[in-house]
Structure 1
Amino acid sequence: MPRRNRVTNDSGHIKIQKRAIPLLLSCITTFPLFSVQSSANSGIDVYPPNWWVGMQNSNVELMLYGDDVADDTVSIAKGDVSVKHSQALDSENYLFVTLDTSNVSAQELVIRLTDSDGTTRDLTYTLEKRAQGSASREGFGPQDAIYLIAPDRYANGNVENDNVKGYGDPADRSFKGGRHGGDIQGIVDNLNYIQDMGFTQIWTMPMLENAMDKYSYHGYSTTDYYKIDPRFGSNDDFIALSTEAKSKGLGIIMDMVLNHIGSNHLWMKDTPSHDWINNNGKFVGTTHKREVLHDPHAVASDIKGFSDGWFVPTMPDLNQRNPHLANYLIQNAIWWVESAGLSGIRVDTYSYPDKAFLSQWTNRIMDEYPNFNIVGEEWSVNPAITAYWQAGSHRHDDYDSALPSVMDFPLQAAVVKALSNDESWNSGFNSVYETLATDFLYGDPNNLVIFPDNHDMSRIFTQLGHDKDKWNMAMTLLLTTRGIPQVFYGTEILMGNEGSEDHGIIRSDFPGGWPSDNDKNAFTGHGLTDDERWAQQRVKGLLQLRKSHPLQFKGLLKHFAPENGVYTYIREANVDSGSGADKSNTHQSDKILVILNKKPVDLPLNKYAEVLSTHQTLTRVSDGISFKTTDTLRLPAMSASVFIVQ
């Protein structure tokens, strides 16, 4: 049947109708994908919207979406690439086309689609030149500190995009579960604050389009994998954020969701194939029993119940066993790394997607970017389960994981437990000590992401009973022990969620981020209490220590078994292991000594002679007072002391 609403160019060829957007993103739709395309705009959407030459994997599979495109024959009308494969699935509106880009230069292609009636449509597609050094980009690492932001709740830099025509879930700052108006511009406006605090990386909750009816502010119900939600800004705005952040020494870590989509995604209205969504597109809840992936006694139905189940009815669970969906998700991740110059990826609900797919996904990305970093969220407090996913770990099977980093939930839980319980032979600081003693399970424990709290749990200040001293001990430990620390926005000013576990309260607005925030502004310090200002400066001081002593925090951790409520450890540069330490660094021989104690103590430093014997002085970071390594320290109860040992 001849197609309708085509536009013919001067040569008689059928052309795709284009929309007025920047060339780099020329194939990204400018209308919400959840809406029905009108007959007056019956073009073809292409995913990914552009690609690059010189990639490690020279094949790129395009997903074409348009009216009755599935039965078209594909050819190259202009360009020197070849069509390697073309395949339709169940829907008549999708066609998957694989191009071979090996040994070609950057160019503009014309892809011709020929229908059975002989009519044609021409699609322009751009193969670009990669940015210099793109493949060798350095990902975030142990020398870094990550600032986690909920974009909707951080700062509203552009009030004009608070509500966007065609999108529901209107802005309502008085509603804890609604959109409050924070956006990309708000983050850009406050990059100096983030930099001055001493953070070196920014991880934001997802900012891709979430065109849901309500509760969409959190970003985990994706409705378009290639489009920034316009209430946050545009794709160009996100790229500009990355560029501006980089100029200030800040990397951008993108939060990616591989397991599920939002129920308003186009795929729920026009599904590419019958097996695209798990459980035949119908809600069946996940069991959340992540242990079944490792349980030698598990039955197959329990494994399926975990991996194929949905989180909630509004988050359809993707079937990554479908090779075209798997390729779509892999290429989408690479596209954002390449387009936005990312320094890392955080993967939501890491273990929930198909296990074999996760191996394929991580390997493909690390093949393209060998020095990159990806951290997976595996919410288990069992180190044996979290360690399983990290590359280089010893596993009970031959699973091939290329995942460089994992969120260290075991350590987070241990810190809270240690500070909430009294000291004894098997409690208190022993919880931290015993957790760190299991680091032999991990391929690289110093590359784990550690944290006091995050966007899905109570604030650490609330977890510790709003005790300022316990907060100080937790923050000191987690900003100085092994791993890559992540701090949730507001934790630095003692934000809490007393009396509520609601995520909308946990993710409250950062004071000062809105034009009407006249009484309190954490960016400037105006209106902060003495305790809030102290906490902010404490975090800043520890972050500045990390920046001045990167070799120590990339290096070794040595700790002493807790004794009488005292837990002590040192950080030192690993200069003898061929790690590439800069021998010109003036602080290379320094050590960082940390002492946490719950009771008043007179502590003779010769107790630690085996790590201090080659040094002479200790300088306390908080007040600059120096001591000899032979002195006895008098430390008050509930103190967290950090020293530079020289």
Structure 2
Amino acid sequence: MKRILLALITVLFLGNIAEAAKYKIDHLEPAFWWAGMKNPKLQLLVHGENIADLKPELNYEGVSIAKVSFVENPNYLFVDLNLSEEVKAGSFDILFKRGKKTVLKYNYQLLQRQEGSAERASFTPADVMYLITPDRFANGNPVNDNVKGLSEQANRSNSNGRHGGDIQGMIDHLDYISDMGFTAIWINPLLENNQPEYSYHGYSTTDYYKIDGRYGTNEEYRKLSQMGKEKGVGIIMDVILNHCGSEHWWMKDVPSKDWINNGGEFTSCSHKRTTVQDRYASKEDLKQFADGWFVQSMPDLNQRNEFMANYLIQNSIWWVEYAELYGIRVDTYPYSDAAFLSEWTERLLEEYPNLNIVGEEWSTNPAIVSYWQKGKVNHDGYVSNLPSLMDFPLQNALKEGLVQEDTWGTGLIKLYEMLSNDFLYADPGNLVIFPDNHDMARIFDQLERDYDLYKMAMIYTLTMRGIPQIYYGTEILAKSDAGGDHGKLRTDFPGGWKGDKVNAFTGEGLSTKEKDAQDFMKKLMNWRKNNEIIHNGKLMHFAPENGVYTYFRYSDEGKVMVILNKGKEKAHLFTGRFHEMISKESKAKDIFTGKSFELKDGIDLPARSVMVLEIN
């Protein structure tokens, strides 16, 4: 009888082991969370073969399971937790049971939020952003150039390949960034992009909770943020809500047919962004834009799926909290579902009221761009919660205004008239303005490599209303490929790799003009850094005359006068028409030369020059 009982116990024991071996958790996201978040709800995505056979249970004070949702694919569970206001940081086991048997166990952590996390500061017009393509900035750790399990290997000779820049490279050069006068870094995406090729740009995410190993680790990213903060430099994360990479882990086992738009089959996006606002647009055109894939390697995420929407919202909140972010930039903003975008921004701003978020709407029409800004009253009743947008209309006007001859309707008048469209925006002062970025020719090339025009563009960008963004290398006259190769316009920053003959971090090997541009930018940005008039002052501009455009930034603290003279001859600027801003007794000082002026006599302008005058 004892032998029979022993045999039975053995069979049951082995049976339990065999049953447990049938199940495992491949993904549980987010892997941890925080106590004290404003929203008490947390939804866990749980993925593993036939995980839907199991029932989750837990026992931790302040945490309860509100709902367990099943989808088409039995390899997924969505577990909704409620976290009470009194819940304490700690860990607890989530038990996955089949009947009364515990088959799997996952130890879940609730971390303690950092004090003041909800009120963390974000970027404002007092900042200047430095836009970095991390693979091309500096290689601080050559050991991670190639990582086991990640497909594409480093090949610096390939303009569209991986070059090895990483998080450590940015950490190593925080002093350079801070000393130049930058106060924030917008970094092109750092999340894992395990694509077979052309992965360096970062816009094909294959894991939303993991920094790409060729850049470093999650911990290094947080370290960059913390060290940057110590040096007065905040980190802005580049977020992609519209699409993922074709090699994302869920693409091999999607939760449901509607997880990816068009049933997971490639259907090209029309890229006609105006259909969103077009009161005459057909539903078919709108669907082709909103649901089409950006490209074949970027599956279009369906944010109308409630689980997908919640996943993306929680992921963004997770990174803001974990990495102590200074702000967010959103790629391809209008390509996502419009209702979802309102919810996404609303949820983030509920958790972080001061958070600034800038969206990319690449249109040169301010009527299209302004539609997405928070506070705009739209013709169709759409309510957006997005605080900021990239000011593509002003960037285009800056290029055309400086390059074109000043005749009727062209040249500087384009810049003047575009700025006059600011009445369309709910908050033009919170727009991000820029001379160039990672998707267009370098500004030095856009301006036909004219150094005088380059200086005008830089001063305009850094004294105009809004939040300036400068692309890495612009400060040393970086050039583009004439053929439009994006890999070549995202050129390696000289000195970022051991053995580079030119080192822009130290100035070694730079040409006289490149070094002059760098010094010019450093002086200008450090002057701006402590200038409240430029940060928050009002703006008045005067219509261009004879190739001269003048505007003022002013407040109770004082006035700054900016004069752009595109003329090929020196000119005398009579100051009488500026009587609203200056008087006959006004004096001014050039911030670069220190030269003083009696404004009652007018100002002599050198040919093709720009002046920044502090008025007293």
- TM-score if structure 2 supplies the norm length? 0.95
**In 2, Cα distance between equivalents of 1:605 and 1:187:** 46
SS in 2 for 1:160: helix
Deviations 1:100-128 (A, max 9, x none): 00222222122111124734322111112
Q: CA deviation at 1:499?
A: 1.8
1:94-173 aligned at under 5 Å gives the runs 94-103=76-85, 104-116=87-99, 118-173=101-156
- In structure 2, the CA distance between the partners of 1:614 and 1:45, relative to structure 1 (3 Å rule), is farther
1:209-358 aligned at under 5 Å gives the runs 209-358=192-341
**In 1, Cα distance between equivalents of 2:16 and 2:349:** 41
Matched, 1:383 2:366: yes
Choose which of 386, 391, 395 in structure 2 pairs with 1:403: 386
Q: Which moved more, 1:624-633 or 1:431-440?
A: 624-633
Amino acid in the other structure paired with 2:355: F
Choose which of 494, 508, 522 in structure 1 pairs with 2:504: 522
Deviations 1:430-476 (A, max 9, x none): 11111111111111101000000000011111111111111111111
Q: Unaligned regions of 5+ residues in structure 2, if any?
A: 1-12
- In structure 2, the CA distance between the partners of 1:591 and 1:219, relative to structure 1 (3 Å rule), is same
Contact 2:246–2:299, Cα closer than 8 Å, also in 1: yes
Amino acid in the other structure paired with 2:49: D
Matched, 1:504 2:475: no
- In structure 2, the CA distance between the partners of 1:527 and 1:256, relative to structure 1 (3 Å rule), is same
Q: CA deviation at 1:613?
A: 2.5
| Aligned counterpart, 2:354 | 371
Please report the RMSD computed on the Cα atoms of aligned residues, expressed in angstroms: 1.8
| Aligned counterpart, 1:68 | 50
- In structure 2, the CA distance between the partners of 1:82 and 1:134, relative to structure 1 (3 Å rule), is same
In our comparison, the structure showing a higher alpha carbon Rg is 2
Choose which of 50, 54, 63 in structure 1 pairs with 2:32: 50
SS in 2 for 1:479: helix
| Aligned counterpart, 2:563 | 595
| Aligned counterpart, 1:36 | none
SS in 1 for 2:286: helix
Matched, 1:546 2:532: no
Contact 2:533–2:553, Cα closer than 8 Å, also in 1: no
**In 1, Cα distance between equivalents of 2:416 and 2:60:** 64
Contact 2:185–2:235, Cα closer than 8 Å, also in 1: yes
Q: CA deviation at 1:394?
A: 2.6
Choose which of 561, 582, 588 in structure 2 pairs with 1:618: 588
Q: CA deviation at 1:611?
A: 0.6
**In 1, Cα distance between equivalents of 2:334 and 2:578:** 41
| Aligned counterpart, 2:63 | 81
Q: CA deviation at 1:91?
A: 1.6
Contact 2:533–2:559, Cα closer than 8 Å, also in 1: no
Deviations 1:278-317 (A, max 9, x none): 1111111100011111111111000000000111111111
- TM-score if structure 1 supplies the norm length? 0.90
SS in 1 for 2:371: helix
Q: CA deviation at 1:552?
A: 3.1
SS in 1 for 2:597: strand
Amino acid in the other structure paired with 1:568: T
| Aligned counterpart, 1:429 | 412
Choose which of 588, 605, 611 in structure 2 pairs with 1:635: 605
**In 1, Cα distance between equivalents of 2:333 and 2:424:** 19
Deviations 1:146-196 (A, max 9, x none): 000000000000000000111121101010000000000000000000000
**In 2, Cα distance between equivalents of 1:393 and 1:566:** 33
SS in 1 for 2:197: coil
Number of residue-to-residue matches in the alignment: 598
**In 1, Cα distance between equivalents of 2:61 and 2:51:** 21
Contact 2:549–2:564, Cα closer than 8 Å, also in 1: yes
% of aligned pairs identical? 52
Q: CA deviation at 1:627?
A: 1.0
SS in 1 for 2:224: helix
Amino acid in the other structure paired with 1:565: G
Deviations 1:360-417 (A, max 9, x none): 1011001111111000000000000100000012311221211000000000000011
Contact 2:333–2:360, Cα closer than 8 Å, also in 1: yes
**In 2, Cα distance between equivalents of 1:484 and 1:451:** 8
**In 2, Cα distance between equivalents of 1:615 and 1:506:** 49
- In structure 2, the CA distance between the partners of 1:110 and 1:80, relative to structure 1 (3 Å rule), is farther
Contact 1:79–1:107, Cα closer than 8 Å, also in 2: no
- In structure 2, the CA distance between the partners of 1:150 and 1:614, relative to structure 1 (3 Å rule), is farther
**In 1, Cα distance between equivalents of 2:110 and 2:102:** 26
Q: CA deviation at 1:236?
A: 0.2
**In 1, Cα distance between equivalents of 2:305 and 2:23:** 30
**In 1, Cα distance between equivalents of 2:396 and 2:53:** 55
Amino acid in the other structure paired with 2:589: T
Q: CA deviation at 1:632?
A: 2.2
Q: Which moved more, 1:360-369 or 1:75-84?
A: 75-84
Deviations 1:205-227 (A, max 9, x none): 00000001011000000000000
Amino acid in the other structure paired with 1:590: G
Matched, 1:531 2:508: no
SS in 2 for 1:435: helix
| Aligned counterpart, 2:5 | none
Q: CA deviation at 1:500?
A: 2.3
**In 1, Cα distance between equivalents of 2:158 and 2:502:** 20
Q: CA deviation at 1:548?
A: 2.0
- In structure 2, the CA distance between the partners of 1:13 and 1:132, relative to structure 1 (3 Å rule), is farther
**In 2, Cα distance between equivalents of 1:526 and 1:472:** 22
Q: CA deviation at 1:203?
A: 0.5
**In 1, Cα distance between equivalents of 2:122 and 2:509:** 37
SS in 2 for 1:280: helix
- The answer to which structure has the higher helix fraction is 2
Contact 2:25–2:46, Cα closer than 8 Å, also in 1: no
Contact 1:553–1:572, Cα closer than 8 Å, also in 2: no
**In 2, Cα distance between equivalents of 1:313 and 1:238:** 29
**In 2, Cα distance between equivalents of 1:40 and 1:142:** 56
Q: Unaligned regions of 5+ residues in structure 1, if any?
A: 1-9, 18-38, 576-588
**In 2, Cα distance between equivalents of 1:486 and 1:615:** 36
Contact 2:364–2:392, Cα closer than 8 Å, also in 1: yes
**In 2, Cα distance between equivalents of 1:398 and 1:316:** 30
Q: CA deviation at 1:493?
A: 0.5
Q: CA deviation at 1:40?
A: 11
Q: CA deviation at 1:477?
A: 0.6
